[in-house]
């Protein structure tokens, strides 16, 4: 079972079966190879930024929340020297542990402290025309994504709930007459397509995060799939699975639109290691050519249906502003590893939105390209994991 209520994915153009089949048979395997390559696995990020909206939740001290930073020799020479759009000013050592030393932190479990609901400040007055607030170079570190996998960390309770609530609150738009007269904060059928798209992107990522938690869950001392968690958080809400497919369809469309810029002959994927760079180019070509999902004639999502006249510009401005706020909310995630993956995935979505809606698209930074392909891999794996969980459930039922 693909566990979707209908054949089609609302607002997307590809049907579920095509998305599922092409992913299962072709795309996921190639993407899994791609994210192992240095360009995509070494990610530059600031995990120490202060939360701009409420007082510090207390950095999560759960062992599985810690992130290990790369040591100097793990970072490609070219990047260290400032080539490949990189600057040489970054930190190798910070408060974040290195891989060798990160294993033994104590479990303090202070994330559930109830700090009350602090005033939620929005920074609406800033006049920046970007989808995501970038981290500043001086406090960024390099992290190996393969050494810090997205999986169960134990982060939950007040801190996590508050972050998700703040993210979903960004789905509150002010529409012009033709859609609705006032601020619309709940999700009902008649609402504007833009608001639905915004919500479904967030919900799709949320589903994906839950699928990764369910896939690699820690049962006391053993890691394994948690079918019950999948049932409770995802399965019983079929629209969440549909939203996962929707987010997948949007990212696919963005990549196929930006393909001329992303080809290895055009974009600078160099790390300084010739063999490694040749493999990366080859794997990229494999990814781009393996499935019809990444060709322009399989339009998985049609961005031209959004922000149409007459109030299009007004809605798009809000859409961008709200998404930018989400990138700030990521600095409030009180668990390093969740923050890492949250920042990466929302940067990936923001990059997709930039590709789809910024005209002209001027350039893409290294981190934007990396997060775009990484978030595609996350979503692609989550689509596979839904089917895997369904198989586990079926076996369970047969055994009973
Ligand atoms: P939550 O997942 O916290 O959800 C809050 C509420 O949102 C739910 O009650 C439900 O009503 C609603 N909801 C849930 N799913 C959806 C959906 N798909 N669409 C719409 N509404 C939904 N934990 C880890 O173990 N590993 C991680 O890598 C990780 N990464 C995270 C990244 C971010 C950015 C955030 C904010 C949290 C992360 N967490 C991670 C925590 C995790 O997402 C949950 O918050 C936590 O597991 C507690 O789950 P919960 O069941 O209380 O509901």
Length in residues, the chain: 400
Residue 129 banded pLDDT, cuts 50, 70, 90: confident
164 is in an annotated binding site: yes
Active site residue 179: no
pLDDT at 40 over 70: yes
Q: What is the pLDDT of residues 231-256, one digit of tens each?
A: 999 999 999 999 999 999 999 999 99
Can you give the pTM of this predicted structure?
Answer: 0.88
Nearest residue (CA) to ligand 1, atom 26: 152
Q: Stretch 2-15: mean pLDDT, rounded? A: 60
For residue 268, give the nearest of 289, 252, 284 by alpha carbon: 284
The DSSP line for 370-390 is HHHHHHHHHHHHHHHHHHHHH
pLDDT at 5 over 50: no
pLDDT at 122 over 80: no
Active site residue 338: yes
Six-digit token string for 393 = 């459930």
The DSSP line for 285-297 is HHHHHH-GGGSTT
pLDDT at 96 over 60: no
Nearest residue (CA) to ligand 1, atom 28: 338
Percentage of the chain lying above the pLDDT 70 cut: 79
Q: What is the pLDDT of residues 317-373, one digit of tens each?
A: 888 999 999 999 999 999 999 999 999 999 999 999 999 999 888 889 999 999 999
Q: What is the pLDDT of residues 299-312, one digit of tens each?
A: 888 888 888 867 78
> How far apart, in whole angstroms, are the C-alpha atoms of residue 368 and residue 265?
18
What is the pLDDT at residue 125?
42
Q: What is the pLDDT of residues 191-210, one digit of tens each?
A: 578 888 999 999 999 999 99
- Output the average pLDDT for the chain: 83
Active-site residue, selected from the candidate residues 65, 68, 192, 335: 335
What is the pLDDT at residue 312?
83
206 is in an annotated binding site: yes
Contact call for residues 67 and 47 (beta carbons, < 8 A):
yes
Nearest residue (CA) to ligand 1, atom 53: 161
Measured at the CA of 95, the angle between CA 91 and CA 99, to 5 degrees, comes to: 80
What is the pLDDT at residue 172?
78
Q: What's the alpha-carbon Rg for the chain, to the nearest Å? A: 21
| Residue 68 vs residues 84, 88, 336, 370: alpha-carbon distances, Å | 24, 20, 10, 19
Whether omega before 214 lies within 30 degrees of 0, making that bond cis, reads no
> How far apart, in whole angstroms, are the C-alpha atoms of residue 106 and residue 16?
44
What is the pLDDT at residue 183?
53
Q: Which atom of ligand 1 is nearest to the CA of 346?
A: 34
pLDDT at 108 over 70: no
> How far apart, in whole angstroms, are the C-alpha atoms of residue 312 and residue 306?
8
What is the pLDDT at residue 22?
92
88 is in an annotated binding site: no
Residue 390 banded pLDDT, cuts 50, 70, 90: very high
Higher pLDDT, 60 or 200: 200
Ligand 1: residues whose CB is within 6 Å? 150, 152-153, 155-156, 160-161, 163-164, 203, 206-207, 209-210, 213, 233, 240, 333, 337-338, 341-342
> How far apart, in whole angstroms, are the C-alpha atoms of residue 213 and residue 219?
12
Distance (Å) from CA 128 to ligand 1 centroid: 29
């Amino acid at each position: 079972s693909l566990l979707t209520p209908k054949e089609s994915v609302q607002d997307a153009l590809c049907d579920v079966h095509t998305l599922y089949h092409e992913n299962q048979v072709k795309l996921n395997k190639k993407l899994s190879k791609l994210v192992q390559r240095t360009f995509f696995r070494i990610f530059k990020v600031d995990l120490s930024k202060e939360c701009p909206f409420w007082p510090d939740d207390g950095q999560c001290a759960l062992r599985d929340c810690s992130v290990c930073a790369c040591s100097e020799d793990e970072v490609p020479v070219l990047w260290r020297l400032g080539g490949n759009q990189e600057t040489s000013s970054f930190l190798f050592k910070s408060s974040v542990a290195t891989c060798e030393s990160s294993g033994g932190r104590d479990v303090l479990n202070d994330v559930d402290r109830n700090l009350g609901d602090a005033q939620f400040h929005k920074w609406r007055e800033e006049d920046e025309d970007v989808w995501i607030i970038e981290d500043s170079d001086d406090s960024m570190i390099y992290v190996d994504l393969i050494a810090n996998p997205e999986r169960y960390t134990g982060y939950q309770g007040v801190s996590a709930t508050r972050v998700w609530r703040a993210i979903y609150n960004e789905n509150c738009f002010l529409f012009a007459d033709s859609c609705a007269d006032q601020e619309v904060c709940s999700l009902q059928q008649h609402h504007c397509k833009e608001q639905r798209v915004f919500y479904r992107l967030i919900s799709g990522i949320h589903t994906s995060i839950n699928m990764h938690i369910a896939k690699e869950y820690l049962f006391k001392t053993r890691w394994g799939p948690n079918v019950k968690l999948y049932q409770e958080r995802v399965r019983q809400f079929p629209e969440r699975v549909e939203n996962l497919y929707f987010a997948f369809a949007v990212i696919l469309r963005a990549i196929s639109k930006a393909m001329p810029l992303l080809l290895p002959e055009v974009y600078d994927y160099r790390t300084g290691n010739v063999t490694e760079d040749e493999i990366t180019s080859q794997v990229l070509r494999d990814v781009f050519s393996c499935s019809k999902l990444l060709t322009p004639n399989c339009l998985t999502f049609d961005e031209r249906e959004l922000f149409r006249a007459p109030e299009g510009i007004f809605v798009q401005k809000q859409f961008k502003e709200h998404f930018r706020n989400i990138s700030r909310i990521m600095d409030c995630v009180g668990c390093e590893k969740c923050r890492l993956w949250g920042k990466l995935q929302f940067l990936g979505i923001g990059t997709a939105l930039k590709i789809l809606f910024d005209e002209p698209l001027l350039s893409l930074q290294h981190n934007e390209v990396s997060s775009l392909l990484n978030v595609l891999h996350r979503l692609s794996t989550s689509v596979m994991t839904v089917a895997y969980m369904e198989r586990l459930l079926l076996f369970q039922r047969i055994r009973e």
